[in-house]
């Protein structure tokens, strides 16, 4: 993987994480948190899709590495929703 592919992968993960967080009600997480959330969302989303035998939506191939955008957004939203359950309410 070259540097441009890696940077593009980080950008797509950041966008997917930011969209997923926004759907779950979180705003302003920051760049690094959005990137991490995008990758965690991709793991959670594809796991759920495989467990329930759901169709794999379009993947974006960056170099030789596929990235599941739709499942990443869904997984990120579910992960943030799960974290919101256990978070203390803000004052």
Please enumerate in sequence order all residues whose Cβ is within 8 A of that of 34, keeping only pairs 6 or more positions apart, or say none. Answer: 13, 14, 15, 17, 18, 21
Indicate the helix (H) or strand (E) that contains 5: helix 3-23
Q: What are the residue ranges spanned by the domains of the chain?
A: 9-86
Closest CA to 47 of 33, 30, 63, 68: 68
**What separation in angstroms does the CA of 31 have from each of 14, 16, 52, 62, 66?**
7, 11, 31, 20, 21
pLDDT band at 91 (very low <50, low <70, confident <90, very high): low
pLDDT tens digits, one per residue of 64-85: 877 888 888 899 999 988 988 8
pLDDT digits (tens, 9 = 90+) for 15-34: 888 988 888 888 777 888 88
The pTM of this model reads 0.83
Q: What pLDDT, on a 0 to 100 scale, did the predictor assign at position 51?
A: 93
Query: For the segment 32-48, what is each residue's pLDDT rounded down to a tens digit?
Result: 888 899 889 888 988 99
């Amino acid at each position: 993987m070259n540097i441009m592919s890696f940077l593009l992968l980080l950008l797509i993960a950041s966008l997917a994480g930011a969209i997923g967080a926004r759907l779950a009600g979180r705003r302003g997480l920051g760049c690094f948190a959005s990137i991490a959330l995008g990758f965690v969302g991709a793991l959670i989303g594809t796991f759920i899709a495989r467990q329930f035998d759901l169709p794999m939506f379009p993947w974006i191939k960056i170099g030789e590495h596929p990235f599941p955008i739709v499942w990443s957004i869904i997984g990120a939203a579910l992960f943030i929703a799960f974290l919101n359950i256990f978070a203390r309410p803000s004052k």
